Amino acid sequence: MNLIWVPLLPLLGTLVPLLTERGGRTLCAWATALLPALSLMIILSHAPSVLSGATLKSALPWIPALDLELAFRLDGLGLLFSLLILGIGLLVILYARYYLSPKDSMGRFYCYLILFMTAMLGIVLSNNLIQLWVFWELTSISSFLLISFWSDKREARRGARMALTVTGAGGMALLAGILLIGNVVGSYSLDQVLASTIQIRESGYYPAILVLMLLGAFTKSAQFPFHFWLPHAMAAPTPVSAYLHSATMVKAGIFLLARFYPVLSGTDMWFLIVSLTGLTTLLLGAYFALFKHDLKGLLAYSTISHLGLITLLLGMDTKLAAVAAVFHIINHATFKASLFMAAGIIDHESGSRDMRKLNGLWKYMPYTATLAMVAASSMAGVPLLNGFLSKEMFFSETLHQSTLGSLSWIVPVLATCGGVFSVAYSLRFIHDVFFNGEPIDLPRTPHEPPRYMKLPVEILVALCLLVGILPGYVIGDLLNSASSAVLQGLVPSYSLAIWHGLNLPLAMSTVALIGGLLIYYNRRVLFQFQAQFPEKDAKEVFESLMQSIIAGCRWLNERLENGSLQRYLMLMLLLTIALTAAPMMSLNQTTGSRPQLPADGVTITGAALLILGALATVIWHRKRMIALLTLSIVGLIVSVTFARFSAPDLALTQLSVEVVTIILLMLALFFLPQRTPKESSPHQMMRDLALSAAVGGVVGTLCYALMTRPFHSISEFFLANSKTGGGGTNVVNVILVDFRGFDTLGEITVLGIAALGIFKLINRMRLFMPAGDERGRPWSDDRYPMILAVVSQLLLPLALLVSVYIFLRGHNMPGGGFIAGLITSVAIIQQYVAHGVDFIKDRLKLNYQWLIGSGLLIAMMTGLGSWVAGRPFLTSWFDHFHLPLIGDFELASAMLFDLGVYLTVIGATLLILANLGKLTTAERPVLTKEEL
């Protein structure tokens, strides 16, 4: 089957747990596991050909215009990681079935988990770098959701935020690196990038590319100095830790290093940065793991340490080191996942993860203890287990590298030190938890977990043993194939035997084992020594860093946005002047060549009224009611002006908008003081006057200069094509519903969102309601005068008739959905004014949110409808029909679209106005008991 199904099936699978959640926990788990299991089968069916050296590819066009495609490839490395992701993922699904308590939402958990699985599969199978990055970010987001699964816990939220911040920032660096690579290579296809090694290494961008890519990988893989987020991510439920922090998420960074190994490695810069980072992380993690009292904390630091080990291997200049790295990826995933699961079982059955309390559990859960001890021994590198083999290879490679020149001897020494601590903390995990006396006041009496909770651990531990004893048979082919994918060439010969004879690596292993024993035996001394250092909590450091960044942003923001509208306006106007004044000054002649129209008396009167209205608004701006009335003069004159210059559509729209606006403002004014205090100092007034005069001068000149010049617009095109292309003679309407239909769709969507936002804003708002006007005269007690009420009701059908008329003729004559919607709104608002909310509520059962939604849906569906006919989105259709009695008429899909506009406009307008009006009535929200 096609490769694309491998990530696609789990993606579909994200819905499965949500749908089956009600069917019980077991059903939910099985149903969830189904689709990933299918993916695993697809991968396994491809495995033989991949193991024999083939690379499978498949691609689907995604955004062809941007040269992007959904491209997948399966090579050895991808196969290895897919098997880890799907295999361990399935085990984790089974494990989580028993781990989660009935209180936790299982559907949500599995949904996030499968989403994460999809994202990981996407990363390891991507054949396009941009696509890889998208999946990379998806892992950050889904891991955020998983870590914060118990979102009521503060440390879970903090840990999740920290992980998201660090890995998200790394993702940004990765994107920058990918873009640079794309720039150098000229393609984002992984095939081409892998084939352009020399081109990349020799380009001047190489250092920047390397640093950015490494930042991405190191943040994800918790390498020093970005390691601090991993221990805090342990606030996640343990199945998440077992999955994300052993086998997948943190390995994504390692995968990135391995994936780009052929391209980026081979330079001194790579070896130096990668190996030193790996070495530091290895030592740091191993050392601190010993001092963690929390079981999962110990495992987290040991994971950091092992990730450092793999990074170090990738940073060494021998080919065998890369093979060892791949081998350790497998081994670490198996033993660490099983250890996390064992820790989860212990936590689940005893109620604590504190190793100072957990002692002597051998008596209570011998079976689990055995499993955990085998896995921990593998972590320590005890012979006959898989950890021993890869550690042996690691020690051997440290002896063969020359990364640090003549100082290279330091690497094997430090590696052995790391091994010593690794043995010590593994011992602590075994001895402290399962032996070492009796448990100290545990919340629960520990006992063995349910049968199937142990199964995943058993499988993983069995794998540890099998690989450890029969490495060649079990893992040889896979390792070979994955290593050749990393090296992009021949794999050097190596032997996967347990016994290589008495040699230096074996001696190092022995030193590590004995040294670890000694250190653990003398641990009290070491603990006391460590206690002298002040405990530094990464959480606090991170939090204070975040706080200072936020404070800095806030400071900057407050300089720009201090809440003063005058200031915003001033800044914007200043910018306008700055941008327009210079070109205006270079314009030598203001008056253009176009002949001017004669000014007649009516026009001059209109202009004079406009000016007077504007002036009056400014003069009386502190008396809000009067200012509103004078402002409406301006609006009315503007609409008359539209009518005069043959824009009847605009005139109608302006008129109805004016009415709605005035009602809205009157309502808003009701809650505001009738007079505003003097807010501007004389100084500010002078400034504002000067500024507005300057802007008025510049804009006026600009308009004059523009209008006196002949100019060519696209109006001619619209006029010529409106009837033939859009089927309507009203060009304005055809532009709205056809030529620029997509714009209109966007606009009504914004309108709907804005209305919902305002609704949300005022829904629970308790505003001061004045009992009288500014002179203290009380409101009339006659709220709904009878004559007004009766006549308004009479007018409703008339107004609706007009709106339907305007709507229907809109395509060919002035009108259309927008104007008709406004007229209908005004008619209904009139009823609200005349009758009050209570009266309307019983009679008009319109849900305005639904009205907005259905309007948008209709408009959208009309657009999609043209797909059915095989045409581009929103292609309009029209035809003429004949009906007896009525005569010829035209049907156009644009009309349906206009209906959507109509409904949205009504819904949006009424949602705002009716709810604002409601605040003045008995329906206004009151304080509930809790809020008091």
Partner 1 sequence: MSITVEIIICAFLLMGGLFVLLGSFGLLRLPDFYTRLHAPTKATTLGLAGLLIGSMIYFFVAEQRLVVHELLITLFLLITAPVSAHMMAKSALHHRVKMVKHTQGQQLANTARKRQPPPSDGA
Q: Applying CB under 8 A, which residues contact partner 1?
A: 777, 780, 782, 785, 787-788, 791, 794-795, 798, 802
Beta carbon nearer to partner 1, 694 or 813: 813
- Smallest separation, CB 792 to partner 1 (Å): 8
Least distance between partner 1 and beta carbon 158 (Å): 60
CB of 633 to partner 1, least distance (A): 16
E strand segments, 375-414: none
In angstroms, rounded to a whole number, what is the distance separating the alpha carbons of residues 475 and 478? 5
Would you state the structure tokens that stand for residue 244, as one six-digit string? Answer: 């994300």
Instruction: Check if the beta carbon of residue 864 is closer than 8 Å to that of residue 773.
Output: no
CA distance 96 to 341: 9
CB proximity list for 542: less than 8 A, separation 6 or greater: 162, 165, 228, 229
CB of 791 to partner 1, least distance (A): 5
Kindly state the smallest distance separating residue 107's Cβ from partner 1, in Å.
59
Cα–Cα distance for residue pair 248/744, rounded to 1 Å: 45
CB of 666 to partner 1, least distance (A): 14
- CB-based contact 20:27 (threshold 8 Å): yes
Burial class (CB in 10 A: 0-12, 13-18, 19+), 586: exposed
Task: Provide the minimum distance between the beta carbon of 849 and partner 1 in the complex, in angstroms, as a whole number.
Answer: 32
How far apart are CB 659 and partner 1 at their closest, in Å?
Answer: 13
355 contacts 432 by C-beta, under 8 angstroms = yes
CA distance 230 to 253: 13
Q: How far is the CB of 802 from partner 1 (least distance, A)?
A: 8
For residue 35, which of 98, 95, 114, 97 has the smallest C-alpha distance? 114
830, 796 contact by CB (below 8 A):
yes
Cα-Cα end-to-end distance for the chain: 63
- State how far Cα 626 lies from the chain centre: 48
Min separation Cβ 796 and partner 1, Å: 12
Contact 324, 487 (CB under 8 A): no
Closer to partner 1 at the Cβ: 583 or 601? 601
Question: 502 vs 794, which CB is nearer to partner 1?
Answer: 794
281 contacts 307 by C-beta, under 8 angstroms: yes
Rounded least distance, CB 555 to partner 1, Å: 51
How far apart are alpha carbons 619 and 615 in whole angstroms?
A: 6
Q: Which is nearer to partner 1, 596 or 780 (CB)?
A: 780
As measured in angstroms, the least distance from the Cβ of 564 to partner 1 is 36
Strands 68-74 and 878-883: unpaired
Q: Taking the complex as a whole, how short is the minimal distance between the CB of residue 787 and partner 1, in angstroms?
A: 5
Name which of 192, 89, 187, 432 is nearest 292 in CA terms: 432
Residue 775 vs 882, nearer CB to partner 1: 775
User: 258 φ, ψ to 5°?
Assistant: -70, -40
Q: For residues 1 and 798, which CB has a smaller minimum distance to partner 1 in the complex?
A: 798
Using the minimum distance from each CB to partner 1, give the nearer residue, 156 or 820.
Answer: 820
Q: Which is nearer to partner 1, 266 or 785 (CB)?
A: 785
For partner 1, give the closer residue by CB, 794 or 922: 794
In the bound state with partner 1, the residue whose beta carbon lies nearer, of 827 and 856, is 827
Closer of 384 and 662 to partner 1 (Cβ): 662
User: What would you report as the CA-atom Rg of the chain, rounded to the nearest whole angstrom?
Assistant: 36
Cα 889 to chain centroid, rounded: 50
- Closest-CA residue to 107 (of 13, 14, 18): 18
**Closest to partner 1 by CB, 82 or 830:** 830
Least distance between partner 1 and beta carbon 788 (Å): 6
Cα separation of 783 and 890, whole Å?
A: 47
* Least spacing, CB of residue 834 vs partner 1, in Å: 9
How buried is residue 468: exposed, middle or buried, by Cβ count under 10 Å (0-12/13-18/19+)? buried
Question: Which whole-number Å values give the CA distances from 419 to 83, 290, 302, 415, 425, in the listed order?
Answer: 28, 12, 11, 6, 10
User: CB of 701: closest distance to partner 1 in angstroms?
Assistant: 37
Q: How far is the CB of 824 from partner 1 (least distance, A)?
A: 16
* C-alpha span between 120 and 43 (Å, rounded): 14
CA distance 528 to 267: 43
- State which H helix or E strand residue 889 sits in: strand 887-892
CB contact at 8 A, 778 and 771: yes
Between residues 714 and 786, which has the closer beta carbon with respect to partner 1?
Answer: 786
Task: Tell me: cis bond preceding 225? Omega within 30 of 0 counts.
Answer: yes
Question: How many helices (DSSP H) and strands (DSSP E) are in the chain?
Answer: 38, 4
Least distance from C-beta 799 to partner 1, angstroms?
Answer: 9
3-state secondary structure of 441: coil
Cα three-residue angle 574-576-581, rounded to 5 degrees: 95
Q: How far apart are CA 549 and CA 542, in angstroms?
A: 11
Nearer to partner 1, 719 or 791 (CB): 791
Closer to partner 1 by CB, 481 or 831: give it: 831
Element housing 57 (H / E): strand 56-63
770 Cβ contact partners less than 8 Å away, ≥ 6 residues apart: 670, 671
Question: 794 vs 883, which CB is nearer to partner 1?
Answer: 794
H or E element: which one contains 880?
A: strand 878-883
Which residue's CB is nearer to partner 1, number 493 or number 780? 780
Comparing CB distances to partner 1, the nearer of 269 and 796 is 796
Burial label, 771 (beta-carbon count in 10 A; 0-12, 13-18, 19+)? exposed
